[in-house]
A and B are shown apart, each in its own frame.
Chain A
Amino acid sequence: MMKRLGLYAALILGAIVFLYPFLWMLSATFKPELELGGFHLIPHRVTWENYRLVFTRIPIIRAFVNSLFVSATATTSVIVFGAMVGYALSRLSFPGREIIFNVILFTMMIPAQLTLIPLYTLIVRLGWADSYQALIVPGMMSGFAILLFRQFFRTIPPSLIEAARLDGCSEWQILFHIVMPLSKPVITTVGILTFMGIWNDLLWPLLVIHDRRLMTMPQVVALFSIGGLAEARVGAQLAAATLLALPIIVAYAFFQRTFIESMATTGLKG
């Protein structure tokens, strides 16, 4: 019984360590500057001043729309092309298939730091600096997504696909009307991983986007915080950070199990 109590005490202590900073952050965004040093979670006096400063100083709504557009487009592309290539690699036999498979394995071994600068110079030379293409196109395909789709498609009974072929379905119809509807788990996994990766990324947008109208949300929030626009107002910096965290946290609140299971598959990368 004592042991059980100790176990729960440890788990609850852990929960406080991980949860309290977030709650404090949320409450701090409604506190006047003088109250910020306090540990209390309910502001004595609620103010909207911090959010007002965020919305008037930086194009946060525009940045939100940019981030949403970029993440959604790239994610859709990663899913559609990932499924296509995954299907070709697992269900169609053609000479060169193994080469493509090995190329994918090879690309996954290369640290991103190696190609970061050449990729950046390529974007500049294509004339894509300060454009949506710069944010979207390099991330439109993912080797890891292809491998996940390939793995999943191999578990679909071949007889199902054979039957559809005999019925006169084209490979495209088989992929999009028969295989894809069966693949919700892998689509969600790829979708969550890709969307989160792009939504949260800071380094790439910092390199290719300098026009404030095209900046993504993490970029705008980071520059707000370090660039002096927040006038060193802590509450406002935290308000901007809260707005950036909000969409992912809301999604996480509803689909936490799917999020966790998806992220756990990154373990397969190693």
Chain B
Amino acid sequence: MNQSRRRQRKARRRVEAIGYLMSFPYVLHFLVFGAYPLAFAFILIFHRWNIYLPMKWIGLGNIRFLIHDALIWKALWNTFYFVLIHVPSQLVVALAFAALLNRHLRGRTLFRAIYFMPVVVSGVVITILWQQLYAQDTGLLNRALTAIGLPRIPWLTDYRLAMPSIALMATWKNVGLYIVLFLVGLQSIPRSLYEAAALDGASEWKQFWHITLPMLNPTILLVLILSTIGGFSLFVEPYIMTGGGPANSTLSGVLYLYKQAFFFNRMGYAATIGFFWAMMIFVVVLVQRKVVERDVG
């Protein structure tokens, strides 16, 4: 009796040891590449450091600089502008195509696969391609416009249009993912709801407003949050297409952070921008959650 209990305890110890052994690489990796940078971020914020010379404590200097830095507020405004165009267009287009695809029809998987293709391709490719589509004189979009007698549009060279142009391209690139997410959401709505509504004489449009949309609320929230975070992570598109111009109209937070770190070697200030940006993401996502959840209730 005693012996078997001892054997059990021994077996349990062995399992525990293996559990620790299996988790150890992750814990080590987390400590070095997760926890340490996170903690170091909060040290960097209070320092001036060009990475080569010793760090210099400057207290709230970086934060004070950030508050008075017109460019970071410009970047924040640009991001809001991007999100304001990108997110609604993303939601509408994705939902429309998902609704079209959510029926029995020929070639459904083929259509889905085609719409999804830009999602898997690198943003570098998409941006280089769209740079040509948007080109002032030779671009296909302007060629199409002039062919039907309309004036050229300065897609990337006008400071009022550059960000919307990038938002349009980003919608084209990402909408396939959201179509698929909405399709998953649509398929989880019980058929019986529609059947009951149809018996009550509700039109298809009414069914969409009173059944589909409310039932899709979790998916809408998900798409809202994912595409907003995407907006705050904008980098490749302005980096390749516009370099942040014209007149800083496409400067994004991450691009600004990259420039501060890479061109000016201001590690402390770049880390402060990163911190500020992370805070903004938290706040925006929190607000979205609150608003959408209240709408359901």
A: which residues have CB within 8 A of B? 7-8, 10-11, 14-15, 17-19, 21-22, 24-25, 28, 36-37, 39, 81, 84-85, 87-89, 92-97, 100, 103, 107, 110-122, 124, 137-138, 140-141, 146, 170-172, 196, 199-200, 202-203, 206-207, 218, 221-222, 225-226, 234, 237-238, 240-242, 244-245, 248-249, 252, 256-257, 259-260, 263-264, 266-267, 269-270
Residue numbers in A under 8 Å from B129 (CB-CB): 21-22, 25, 238, 241
Report which residue of B18, B44, B180 has the largest number of chain A beta carbons within 10 angstroms of its beta carbon.
B18
| A164 to B: closest C-beta gap in Å | 13
* Residue of A whose beta carbon sits closest to that of B138: A37
**Measured CA separation A172–B41 after assembly (Å):** 37
Q: Which stretch from B1-9, B110-118, B158-166 is at the chain A interface?
A: B110-118
* Residue of B whose beta carbon sits closest to that of A81: B25
Report which residue of B15, B111, B121, B277 has the largest number of chain A beta carbons within 10 angstroms of its beta carbon.
B121
B261 CB-CB contact with A under 8 Å: yes
| B20 to A: closest C-beta gap in Å | 6
Query: A19–B114 contact, CB under 8 A?
Result: yes
Query: A24–B262 contact, CB under 8 A?
Result: no
**Measured CA separation A96–B25 after assembly (Å):** 15
Query: B109–A257 contact, CB under 8 A?
Result: yes
Query: A94–B19 contact, CB under 8 A?
Result: yes
Number of B positions contacting A (CB below 8 A): 91
Query: A92–B22 contact, CB under 8 A?
Result: yes
Query: B100–A203 contact, CB under 8 A?
Result: no
| B150 to A: closest C-beta gap in Å | 16
Which 6 pairs across A and B sit closest by C-beta, in order of nearness? A94-B19, A118-B37, A92-B19, A114-B278, A200-B122, A88-B22
Could you count the A-B residue pairs with CB atoms below 8 Å apart for me: how many are there? 259
Given contacts A14-B115, A122-B36, A203-B236, contact A141 B29 (CB under 8 A): yes
Query: B114–A18 contact, CB under 8 A?
Result: yes
B211 CB-CB contact with A under 8 Å: no
Query: B222–A267 contact, CB under 8 A?
Result: yes
A-B contact pairs, 20 of them (CB 8 A): A8-B105, A15-B111, A25-B132, A84-B26, A92-B16, A93-B19, A94-B15, A97-B23, A111-B277, A111-B278, A117-B257, A118-B37, A122-B32, A172-B18, A202-B124, A221-B124, A234-B135, A249-B117, A264-B180, A267-B222
B83 CB-CB contact with A under 8 Å: no
Q: Which stretch from B63-71, B192-200, B266-274 is at the chain A interface?
A: B266-274
Query: B121–A222 contact, CB under 8 A?
Result: no
| A209 to B: closest C-beta gap in Å | 12
Residue numbers in A under 8 Å from B135 (CB-CB): 234
Given contacts A93-B19, A117-B274, A207-B258, contact A11 B44 (CB under 8 A): no
Query: A87–B172 contact, CB under 8 A?
Result: no
Query: A119–B25 contact, CB under 8 A?
Result: no
Query: A10–B100 contact, CB under 8 A?
Result: yes
Partner of A36, one of B138, B225, B261: B138
Residue numbers in B under 8 Å from A121 (CB-CB): 40, 44, 49, 51, 267
* Residue of A whose beta carbon sits closest to that of B124: A218
B58 CB-CB contact with A under 8 Å: no
**Measured CA separation A81–B33 after assembly (Å):** 15
Partner of A100, one of B23, B100, B144, B261: B23
